[in-house]
């Protein structure tokens, strides 16, 4: 995960040597299943999903098949090639924390990453880019607009609400391009094509997820570009202070060191029953929280509860601007 490489890098987490071996105390550990009490702090760090609980929700261009041309796909793939999770976090910080518009943030990113360099112009045409109703997707839509204009297309960026609204429009060709998320889109289309009870086709393996996604996409007239390294998926964060105190870097560390009564987990009300939230942590890692605090889905309530020391660990999203380094 790109987020982890930034957030849990050198200098952030304390070493695990014996007490006094380097002039510092060893990280505190929970004794006899006591758990890890919340530790307040201004900086959040994401714990590495070392057993691959989460599926691969990499950003990927979704394209109406009739509108797809080599020049269009190549231009969109320029965005994919330039993005990783660290850069997506920085883009989200620019919009959600620094209060730049998605358009300005995208223009600055395009310039810094030479997005329009080497783009081949095709025969052109009009392309309507759809963007879902949250800031990250709108910024991605702006990036798509920049590269498609450079490829000679007339473009229009349209905010289109949620997936249930925009996916049918993408099928029909009312919009031609949408920034999508591989695993979520794969499961959405799989349910639509094969029924709600169909076995999941998304996984923690990006190649397998994309194979399934392309197969169901073909059946509804949607093709996909190259997925980026950038992911926006469920993640679990603690404060940097808690990570240092308890010696936490991975979710396996959390389970081994913090299962117990003092540990408070926070997230949306449905988290305890969801396979990618608390239930998944229990089944995949053997993690047992002492209590659960019903908050929001990676939003301000959860982040505030972490920073104020109300919860030990909380559900966040891996590309959240609040996770930016520095």
**What integer pLDDT is reported at residue 122 of this predicted model?**
83
- What value, to the nearest 5°, has the Cα angle with vertex 231 and ends 211 and 187? 45
**What integer pLDDT is reported at residue 116 of this predicted model?**
97
Closest by CA to 211, choosing from 202, 222, 200, is: 202
> Any idea which fold 59-185 has?
Dipeptide-binding Protein; domain 3 (3.10.105)
**What integer pLDDT is reported at residue 162 of this predicted model?**
87
Q: Give the count of beta carbons closer than 10 Å to the beta carbon of residue 217.
A: 23
Domain boundaries, the chain: 2-16+27-53+233-323, 59-185
Which segments in the chain show pLDDT lower than 70? 1-32, 326
**What integer pLDDT is reported at residue 2 of this predicted model?**
38
Instruction: Convert 88-103 into a string of H (helix), E (strand) and C (coil).
Output: HHHHHHHHHHCCCCHH
**What integer pLDDT is reported at residue 291 of this predicted model?**
98
Query: What digits encode the pLDDT tens for the residues 4-58?
Result: 333 333 222 222 233 333 334 445 555 457 999 999 999 999 999 999 999 999 9
Taken as a whole, the chain contains a residue count of 326
**What integer pLDDT is reported at residue 28 of this predicted model?**
52
Please state which architecture CATH assigns to domain 2-16+27-53+233-323.
Answer: 3-Layer(aba) Sandwich (3.40)
């Amino acid at each position: 995960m790109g987020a982890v490489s930034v957030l849990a890098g050198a200098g952030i987490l304390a070493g695990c040597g014996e007490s006094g071996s380097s002039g510092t105390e060893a990280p505190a550990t929970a004794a006899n299943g006591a758990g890890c009490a919340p530790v307040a702090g201004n900086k959040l760090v994401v714990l590495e999903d070392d057993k691959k609980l989460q599926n691969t929700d990499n950003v990927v261009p979704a394209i109406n098949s009739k509108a797809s041309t080599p020049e269009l796909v190549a231009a969109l793939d320029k965005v994919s090639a330039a993005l990783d999770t660290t850069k997506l976090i920085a883009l989200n910080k620019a919009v959600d924390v620094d209060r730049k518009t998605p358009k300005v943030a995208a223009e600055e990113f395009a310039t810094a990453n030479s997005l329009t360099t080497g783009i081949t112009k095709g025969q052109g045409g009009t392309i309507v880019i759809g963007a879902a109703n949250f800031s990250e997707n709108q910024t991605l839509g702006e990036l798509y607009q920049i590269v498609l204009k450079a490829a000679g297309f007339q473009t229009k960026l349209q905010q289109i609400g949620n997936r249930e609204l925009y996916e049918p429009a993408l099928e029909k060709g009312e919009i031609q391009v949408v920034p999508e998320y591989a695993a979520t889109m794969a499961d959405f289309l799989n349910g639509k094509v094969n029924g709600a009870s169909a076995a999941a086709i998304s996984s923690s393996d990006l190649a397998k997820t994309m194979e399934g996604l392309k197969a169901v996409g073909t059946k509804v007239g949607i093709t996909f570009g190259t997925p980026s390294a950038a992911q926006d998926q469920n993640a679990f964060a603690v404060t940097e202070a808690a990570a240092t105190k308890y010696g936490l870097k991975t979710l396996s560390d959390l389970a081994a060191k913090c299962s117990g009564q003092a540990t408070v987990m926070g997230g949306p009300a449905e988290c305890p029953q969801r396979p990618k939230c608390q239930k998944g942590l229990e089944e995949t890692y053997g993690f047992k929280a002492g209590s659960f605090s019903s908050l929001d889905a990676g939003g301000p309530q959860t982040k505030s509860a972490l920073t104020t020391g109300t919860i030990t660990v909380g559900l966040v999203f891996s590309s959240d601007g609040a996770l930016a380094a520095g």
